[in-house]
Chains A and B, each alone.
Chain A
C-alpha cells in the first residue's frame, strides 16, 4: 500500500466502500443477533449465577465446565442427540432417494404424487409431532396399533415404550420430502445423452445406476445431509410436544432448555453447556463447510 500513489489509494478506498455498504446492514444485524448473545453466554458460563435459590453472582472460573464433564445426564442427552440426528438424516436420505427415483419417470398422476409426498415437509413441526403422537402412535386408538392388531400382533404404547424412536420416525416422515426434492433436482439435471450412450453400449440398468447416476447424485446427497444435519441437530419442537423430554428422549437442545429457563434456572451451568454445544457444532460445521466450499469451487470451474 505504501508504494501506491495516495490519490489512487483514496479512490480505491472509496470504491471499495461503495461496493461494501449494501452488505453492511445485513452483516451488522446478523453479528448483533448471533455474536452478542454468544459473548454473553461465555461470560455467564464463568459465573455461578442461578435464580433458585437466589445466589449472589460471582466468578467461578471454569468450575461449571468441570462439573459438566461428570454430568451423566448431559452425556445421555448428547448421545440421544447424535442418535436422533444420524438416524433421522440417513433414514430420510435413503427414503428420499428411493422416492425421487420413483418420481423421476413418467406415469399417470406424477404431479399429484409429488404433491402428496412433499406435504409432510410443509406441516408445522408442532402439528406433525402432535398428530403422530395422538393419532398414529396412540396405544388405544392409534392407526399403527390398529394395523398391528389386524396383523395378529399386540398393541404397543409407542411413545412411552420407544420415545426416541417415535420422535425419529416423525422426523423422518417430515424430512424425507426435503431430501427427495434435492435428489430429484439432481436426477433431473443428469445429462440424458450420457445415459443413452451407456445404454447403447449395453450397460445394465443396475450398472448404469451405480456408475453414472450415483456419482452424479453425490453432491446433491452431500447437500441434503448438510442441510438436514443443520436443522435436525437442533430439533426441539417434536421433543417438547411428543415426550416433553420423557425417558431417554431428552436431546441436547431440550436439556439446555430444561436447565436454564425451562425450570432449572441454573444460568451459569446451562451457559457452560451451551458453550460446549457451540464448540461441538463448530467442529461439525467445519467439516460440513469444507464440503460446501468444494461445491462452490466447482461452481467457479463450471
Chain B
C-alpha cells in the first residue's frame, strides 16, 4: 500500500515540525526556569546553557524583609482573594445559569447578552470611580476590594460557561425531579450539580486563573503591603544591579500554580471555552 506508507511519512514530517514549533514556543519558559537556577553573573551574560545550578535565588526571593511585601504574604493574600472570589462567583452564577438554561426566563437571550456586554466595557473606564468608591469606603489596600472586583470580573464568563454546560443536562431528568417535588435546591443537589460537575470545575478553574494573574486592579487599588503575587513579582526588579536570575525565580514561583492546574485540566478547558459558545 503505497498511500499508507506515504501518509505515514507525511505524518512523521508534520509531527517533527510540530515538535519544533512546540519547543520554540516553550523556549522562553524553559529559559526562565534555567535562569532561575543561575547566579546573577551566569544569567546576565551572553546566553549559556551550562552552569552551576543553585537554589540561592529561590532563597533570596522567599526571604522576608520587614516593610516589604513578602513571598509568604503575597501568596496568602492571592490564595484568599482567588478562593473567596471564585466561591462567590459560583454561588451567584449557578442559580443564574439555571434561570437561563434549565427554566429559561422570557428574554433569556437579552440577559445573557447583558452579562457578556459588560465584558466589553473597558475596565479602564471604571477604574477612577472604583478607586474613589474604594477610597470613600476605606477599602483601598484591602483584600476585600479585590475579592469584590474579581467576582465582578469573572461572573459574566461563569454565567456564560455554566449556561452551556447546564443545557446539556437531559430535560427528562429535571422534569422527573420536579414531579417528585424537588425545588430549585433539590434539583441542584440531586441532578444538576453532580451532572455538570466537570463543567463547573472547568469554569471555576478559569476563574482561578484569571483572578490569580490579575494585575491591573491589584496595582491600582491595592499596591501596598497587603497585595497579591503579581505585585510581588514586580518588586523583584531593581533599578541598580543585575536581577534577571532573581526575577526568574520569582516568576517561576508565581506562575507555577496556574501552569500546573492548566496542564492538568487542559482538555476540559478547551471544551469549556470553545464548545461553550458554539454548542
Contacts and interface: CB of A to CB of B under 8 A. Distances in A.
Interface in B221-254: 229-230, 233-234, 237, 244, 247-248, 251, 254
B109 interface: yes
Given A105-B14, A130-B247, A292-B277, A281 B111 contact: no
Interface in B193-234: 209, 212-213, 215-216, 219-220, 229-230, 233-234
A103 B11 CA distance: 11
Contacts of A115: 263, 266
A99 interface: yes
B152 A33 contact: yes
Contacts of B99: 19-23
A252 B124 CA distance: 9
A11 to B, nearest CB: 16
B18 A124 contact: no
Interface string B156-190: 10010000000000000000000000001000000
B25 A282 contact: no
B70 interface: no
Given A41-B125, A102-B14, A234-B124, A119 B259 contact: yes
A4 interface: no
Contacts of A41: 125-126, 128-129
A117 B28 contact: no
Interface in B103-117: 103, 105-106, 109, 111, 113-117
- Size band of the interface chain B makes with A: 35 or more
B98 A119 contact: no
Interface string A235-273: 011001100000000001100110011000001001100
Contacts of B126: 34, 37-38, 41, 274
A118 B31 CA distance: 16
B45 to A, nearest CB: 6
Contact of A29 (B23, B92, B259): B92
Contacts of A281: 120-122, 125
Nearest to B236: A130
A119 B128 contact: no
Given A37-B133, A181-B274, A184-B270, A122 B152 contact: no
A274 B122 CA distance: 8
A241 B233 CA distance: 11
A277 interface: yes
A274 B128 CA distance: 9
Given A107-B18, A118-B262, A25 B149 contact: no
B53 interface: no
B93 interface: yes
Contact of B275 (A26, A99, A185, A271): A185
Contacts of A296: 109
Nearest to B275: A185
A267 B130 CA distance: 13
Contacts of B156: 30
A290 to B, nearest CB: 11
A147 B133 CA distance: 50
Chain A interface mostly helix, strand, loop or mixed? helix
A23 B18 CA distance: 45
A256 B129 CA distance: 13
A257 B233 contact: no
Contact of B121 (A38, A114, A184, A288): A38
Interface residues of A, number: 100
Contacts of B233: 124, 126-127, 130
A84 interface: no
Contact of A102 (B21, B151, B273): B21
A116 B215 CA distance: 24
A173 interface: yes
B146 interface: no
B143 interface: no
A36 B120 contact: no
Contacts of B229: 124
A121 B269 CA distance: 12
Contacts of A146: 46-47
B129 A37 contact: yes
A212 interface: no
Nearest to A219: B278
Interface stretch (A67-75, A131-139, A190-198): A131-139
17 contacts: A23-B100, A38-B126, A113-B19, A117-B26, A118-B262, A126-B234, A127-B32, A135-B244, A146-B47, A181-B270, A182-B270, A186-B274, A220-B274, A237-B230, A260-B128, A288-B120, A299-B278
Closest 3 CB pairs of A and B: A107-B15, A22-B95, A185-B274
Given A117-B25, A119-B263, 10 more contacts: A23-B111, A41-B128, A102-B18, A113-B22, A114-B266, A126-B234, A185-B274, A186-B278, A219-B278, A281-B120
